[in-house]
Amino acid sequence: MNKLPETVVSLQMKQTGREVPQPVADEANKGRAVLFEDVLERCCGTGRWQVLLVSYMSITWIILPTFSMSMMFIGATPAFKCADGFDTNATFASLPEDTPQCHPVGNASAPCSRWVFDKSVYKSTVVTEWNLVCGRKPMLSMLQSVLMLGGIVGALLGGQLADRFGRRPVFLPVMLLATVCSFSAALVGDYVSFFVIRGFTGFGMASMIASMFVLVTELSDCEHRAALATLVFLPFGIGIMLLAVASYYIRTRWLLQLALAIPCVLLLPNFWLMPDSPRWLLIKGRFPEALEILRQGARWNRRKMPSDDEVLKMMSDVRQTHIAREEALRGDSRDSALQRVLALVRTPLMRRYTIASTFIYFAMAGSYFGISFDVSQLSTNPHLAVALSGVMEIPACLIYPLLNRFGRRRCLIAFLFTTAIAMFLVFVKKDATLWLVLGLVGKLSVTSALNMFSYVSEYMPTQQRGLAMGLHQTASRIGGAVSPFVVDLVSGLHELAPSAVFGAMVLLAGLAALLLPETAGKPMPETVADVEAADHRRRPKKGAACELTLSDGSVKTGVTSS
C-alpha cells in the first residue's frame, strides 16, 4: 500500500486547526470546495463495480422476508376446538361441530386447558405447538412484536456503530448472528427460546439493513444513486413470493424454518466481497484504505486512476472542508456519540427533517405491515395473498425513473396520498374484489414510498447518516410492532376500521413530507453545515445539471428534473 506523501501528512496534522481549507489548485476548481463525488468520479465513476456489488448484496433482501413475513405461515392459526372432557386421543374431526373453542362443553366460566387443531391445512405451527389460542393469543402477537422490538435496538445501535466503526465491520457480525438465529429457530422446541431468538433475529436484521443500505448509497454518484438504491429492494418481492411457495409445499413449522434458513449461507461470501465505504473512510482520514477501494473500483469499471498524489490531495481537501464546516457549526472538531445524536436536532432544518421523516417512516411501516398481515383484505387464501403481495413489491422497485424525472419529494407525497385514497375507498362498497384491488394498490404505493429509503441518506450529512437511518428504522419497527395490535383491537369496532386508521396515518405522513427538501441531482451533504447552507441556495430548475468538476478541468453533469 502506498505511503501518504509529506504534503498530505502535513495537511492532516492541521485538521484540528481553524483554517478554512483551500480549494483544488487548478483554475477550473478555483473557489470551489472538492466533494466526495468529485473524488469518486475522478477515480472510478459509477459502473460495473457498483452494479455487481449491489447485485450481490441485494441477496440479503431475498432472505429478509423469511424473518419479517414468515409469521404469516409459521404463526398461522388453524381451526381448533376445546378438548377438555373428551378422550385424550380425540381429534379435531372426531369432536362435535358445535364444540366451543375457549371453554369446556357445558362450562362457559372455566378456561380451556387442552385443544385439538385442524391439520388439513397446516401440520404444525407455533400456535399448535404451544397452544397460542384464547387467553394465550397475545403470546402469538408478541412473537411478531419482539422481532420489531429487537429491530428497534438493532436500528439504533447499528446506525451508531456504523457511523463509529464503519459499514462493513458492523454488517459482518450481525450477518452471522442472523444466520445462526435462522437455524436455531428451526431447532428449538419451547416458546421462551423461540421468543428470545426472534428478538435477536430482529436485532441482526435491522443492523444489517442500517449498515448495508448506507453503504449502497455511498458507493454511487448523484446521477445513479436513485437507481442503485431502489433496485437493491427488488429481491425482497421475490423473497416474499418464494416464502409463499415454500410455505405452500412445506406445512410443518420446523421444516419450513429450516428450509428458509438454508439461503442464509449465501451471505457468507460478504467476508471477502463487501468493501467498506470509501466516503466514510475518507471522512475519518483513512486515506490509504479509501484509495485502495477506489483503485479496485477503477479496475472493475475499466477506468484509469490518476496518480496517488493527486487522489490523496483531493481526499485531503474533502476532509479539510468537512472539518472546517463542522467546526464552523459547533466550534469543535472532536465528535462524541452524544454530539452526533444532538446534531440531528441541533439546527432548525435538522430538527424539521428528523422529526418529519421519523413520523413518515412510522406511518409508512405501520400501513405496510398492516396491509401485508391483514390477509383477509387481499384474499381468503393466505398463500395467494402473500404471493400477490410479493408481486406488488417488484414494480415498486422500478420507481427510480420517476424519482429522477419528478424529484424525490413529489414522488413520496404522491405515493403516500395514493395509499391514503386506496384505504379510504374501501368504504365505498362491500365487495371482495374491490377490496382486493384497492389493497393491492395500497400495497404497491406504500411499498414504493418505503423503497425511497435512499431519500433519507441524500439529505442527512455523512457523520449522521448511519444514525439517521437507524432512527428511521426504529420508527419503522415501532410502526410494524404496533400495526398488528391496531388490526386486532380496532377491527372489533368495524371490519374496515384498520383501513381508516392506516389511511389517516399515511395522509398525515404525506403532509409531513412537504417539510422535506428536494435532493434529486444534488450531492449528498458531508456536514450539518452543508444541510443548512443548501436551504439558502436556489433550487435547480428542471433540466439543471448535477455538476462534478474534475481535476483535469472537465465537468461531469447529471440532469435533474426537480
DSSP state letters, 33-54? ---HHHHHHHHT-SSHHHHHHH
372: CB partners within 8 A, 6+ apart: 69, 72, 386, 389, 443
Provide the pLDDT for residue 419: 92
CA-based nearest residue to 202, from 181, 171, 172 = 181
Rounded distance between C-alpha atoms, residue 147 and residue 67, angstroms: 8
Question: What number of helices (H) and strands (E) belong to the chain?
Answer: 26, 4
Fold classification of 32-78+119-329 is Growth Hormone; Chain: A; (1.20.1250)
- Beta bridge partner(s), residue 81: 116
Phi-psi region of 131 (alpha: psi -120 to 50; beta: other; left: phi over 0): left
In a 3-state reduction of DSSP, which class is residue 329?
A: helix
* Cα first-last separation, the chain: 42
Give yes or no for a contact between 480 and 148, defined as CB atoms under 8 angstroms apart. Answer: yes
In terms of Cα–Cα distance, which of 223, 175, 224, 225 is closest to 200? 175
Q: What local confidence, expressed as pLDDT, does residue 336 receive?
A: 59
**Res 192: pLDDT:** 94
Q: Map residue 4 onto helix, strand or coil.
A: coil
On whether the CB atoms of residues 36 and 321 are closer than 8 A, the answer is: no
**Rounded CA separation 195/207 (Å):** 19
Pick the CATH number of 342-533 from 1.20.1250.20, 3.40.1310.30, 3.30.930.10, 1.20.1440.230: 1.20.1250.20
d(CA 513, CA 517): 9
Hey, which residues does 555 pair with through a beta bridge? 549
Number of C-beta neighbours around residue 145 at 10 A? 22
Cβ burial of 315 (10 Å; 0-12, 13-18, 19+) is: buried
The DSSP H or E segment spanning 400 is helix 400-406
* Region at 166 (left for phi over 0; alpha for psi -120 to 50; beta for the rest): left
- Helix (H, G, I), strand (E, B), or coil: what is residue 13? helix
522: left (phi over 0), alpha (psi -120 to 50) or beta: beta
Q: Give the pLDDT confidence score for residue 243 in this predicted structure.
A: 92
Domain ranges for the chain, please list them.
32-78+119-329, 342-533
Strand partners, 375: none
Question: Using an 8 Å Cβ cutoff, are 155 and 161 in contact?
Answer: no
Residues in the chain with pLDDT values less than 50: 1-31, 331-334, 538-542, 544-562
> Per DSSP, what are the bridge partners of residue 559?
545
Q: Is 95 exposed, middle or buried (0-12, 13-18, 19+ CB in 10 A)?
A: middle
Cβ neighbors of 456 (< 8 A, separation 6 or more) are 357, 468, 469, 472
d(CA 3, CA 1): 7
Helix ranges, 44-166 (H):
48-57, 59-68, 71-74, 126-130, 137-165
Q: Cell numbers at residue 36, please?
A: 466526495
- CA pair distance 546, 548, nearest whole angstrom: 7
Query: Would the CA dihedral through 93, 99, 105, 111 be positive or negative?
Result: positive
Under a CB-based contact definition with an 8 Å cutoff, are residues 167 and 280 in contact?
Answer: yes
> What is the DSSP-derived secondary structure letter of residue 335?
-
Query: Is-contact 167 277, C-beta < 8 A?
Result: yes
3-state helix, strand, coil in the chain (%, to 5): 65, 5, 30
For residue 397, count other CB atoms closer than 10 A to its CB: 21
Please determine whether the domains at 32-78+119-329 and 342-533 fall in the same fold group of CATH.
yes
SS3 102: coil
355 class by beta-carbon count within 10 Å (0-12 exposed, 13-18 middle, 19+ buried): middle
Are 467 and 483 within 8 A, CB to CB? no
Q: What is the pLDDT of residue 491?
A: 64
Residues 6+ apart with CB under 8 A from 31: 23
Model confidence, pTM: 0.72
pLDDT the model gives residue 345? 77
Rounded CA-CA distance 350/535 in Å is 11
pLDDT of residue 18: 36
C-alpha–C-alpha distance, residues 524 and 64, integer Å: 28
